[in-house]
Structure 1
Amino acid sequence: MDGDLRSLIDMLEAARNEQMIKSALKIFAHSCGYDRFAYLQTEGAQVRTFNSYPGQWESIYLDSNYSRLDPVVTEAKRRRDVFFWTADDWPARGASPLRRFRDEAVDHGIRCGVTIPVEGSYGSTMMLTFASPERKVDISGVLDPRKAVQVVMAVHYQLKILAAKTAVNPKQMLSPREMLCLVWAMRGKTAPETAMLTGINARTVQHYLDKARAKLGAESVPQLVGIAKDRGLV
């Protein structure tokens, strides 16, 4: 298992596009007896996903906001170690939203799996899941926890790098402090609120935001946030 994980980390490091990342994760999943994988990042109400699940299931999951009641997501936010799960442990009777979620997941070939959760920055949670339509395929006990976390972080950073579709002129690169203030602004924080959270003077926070706006050609903070998102900076 350690060899498979090491190989996966190496393949992720060498990946130059999303297809290469997806191929590396598929190879590892199949070597462990799983059919599919799903990388999920939750940040407040926002959900980002990269997976090999059926397209129909991904649409249903996102449109129905299933991340709010998904037992796997709930467990991943609660604990910080690799864990096994099975839909057989979820409610099998009644007409509750959770029962409907369970039935739809099983119908799309997602019955059991292993999930690697990692606590991200600014209250986010990242998790990588390998899933199977079978009743039980549990490799949680033989996964090296340290290497498992490495895999999640490798997927996260490779996807983040690829998201930067627009090349940024060196003169437009934001400083660490400018980026810090921008991230808090993206989360709806005002300059005084950011000052409280970071220990930076409120006027200095505004100064960093003004410099960031000048660099990216934004006329307002909301426009700054929009440009930064479009360029994959945040």
Structure 2
Amino acid sequence: MRKAGKKSVDEDFRSLIDMAEASHNERMIKNAVKSFAKACGFERFAYLQTEGAEVKTFNSYPRPWEGVYLANRYARIDPVVTEAKRRMDMFAWTADDWPDRGSSELRQFRDKAVEHGICSGVTIPVEGSYGSTVMLTLASSERKSEVPRLRDARKATQAVMAIHYCLKIVGAASVVAPRQALSPREGRCLMWAMKGKSVPEIAMITGINARTVQHYLDSARRKFEAKTIPQLVAIAKDRGLF
């Protein structure tokens, strides 16, 4: 077994981002995040996006727990979600720290979470667009409150955003014709172009060579029969791709 260290952790982050960007569907993304969670010593993961009262989730939690969570709108009272929005920084948690007194609803939430094996974990929150919050939780059935290998908050944030954008790209691919379907990296570069970023800026953000970024944008432009990158961006916005 390899020793936990900076190099091995960096490899896990890099592997997650590479696997996510190479994914063509949600199943592949889920497998990538599950492998990352396991490498970090956790059994399950949950990606959650909250915007006002709206909650979107993508996870490997037991289906019964996901159903109960959404049906009861537990994101309203979930201590992990509350803490994530308050701190906006990576933190470890354990169900043992959750209040066992107070409202019966909160006690019921805690009992059901533990019953389904959600006992401890680490959560990485990131501020999303339009007032939304995006977070990735790695969870364990063990009652512990430590982050055994995750120490680099910057890389953790980068990993969460990679998952976030890859899910958006996969979702967008379902609303365009097959000949127009973008590759994960074409979609990622286009998404940053839609946010007003230049080719050098996209290269710096994504870690992709500027010439390669231009190649991906040109490829996307040809797929949508756009003559220029601004026209490509306009078409993408008009069709509500992202």
TM superposition score normalised by structure 1 = 0.71
Identical residues among aligned pairs (%): 62
Per-residue CA deviations over 1:27-68 (Å, capped at 9, x if unaligned) read: 111112211000000000100000000111111101100000
Aligned to 2:217: none
Q: Choose which of 38, 45, 58 in structure 1 pairs with 2:46.
A: 38
Shift in CA distance, 95/120, structure 1 to aligned 2, threshold 3 Å: closer
Per-residue CA deviations over 1:124-181 (Å, capped at 9, x if unaligned) read: 00000000010016227742111101111111111101112111698xxxx969xxxx
The reply on whether 1:21 has 2:67 as its aligned counterpart is no
The structural deviation recorded for 1:92 is 2.3
Shift in CA distance, 163/98, structure 1 to aligned 2, threshold 3 Å: same
TM superposition score normalised by structure 2 = 0.68
Q: Which runs of 5+ in 2 are unaligned?
A: 1-8, 181-192, 196-233
Q: Choose which of 150, 175, 179 in structure 2 pairs with 1:166.
A: 175
CA distance in 1, matches of 2:84, 2:103: 25
CA distance in 2, matches of 1:131, 1:21: 17
The structural deviation recorded for 1:2 is 2.0
Q: Choose which of 156, 164, 167 in structure 2 pairs with 1:156.
A: 164
> What amino acid does structure 2 have at the position aligned with 1:153?
M
Aligned to 1:71: 79
Aligned to 1:53: 61
Aligned to 1:113: 121
The structural deviation recorded for 1:95 is 5.8
The structural deviation recorded for 1:10 is 1.4
> What amino acid does structure 1 have at the position aligned with 2:90?
V
> What amino acid does structure 1 have at the position aligned with 2:70?
L
The structural deviation recorded for 1:94 is 6.1
Per-residue CA deviations over 1:75-131 (Å, capped at 9, x if unaligned) read: 111112110011000122466211100000000000000000000111000000000
> What amino acid does structure 2 have at the position aligned with 1:145?
A
> What amino acid does structure 2 have at the position aligned with 1:166?
V
| Partner SS state of residue 135, structure 1 | coil
CA contact (8 A) 1:34 1:137 kept: no
Counting matched residue pairs gives: 180
Matches within 5 A, 1:1-234: 1-93=9-101, 96-136=104-144, 138-139=146-147, 142-164=150-172, 165-167=174-176, 228=240, 233=241
| RMSD of Structure 2 on Structure 1 (CA) | 2.4
Q: Which runs of 5+ in 1 are unaligned?
A: 178-210, 217-227
> What amino acid does structure 2 have at the position aligned with 1:23?
N
Higher alpha-carbon deviation: 92-101 or 39-48: 92-101
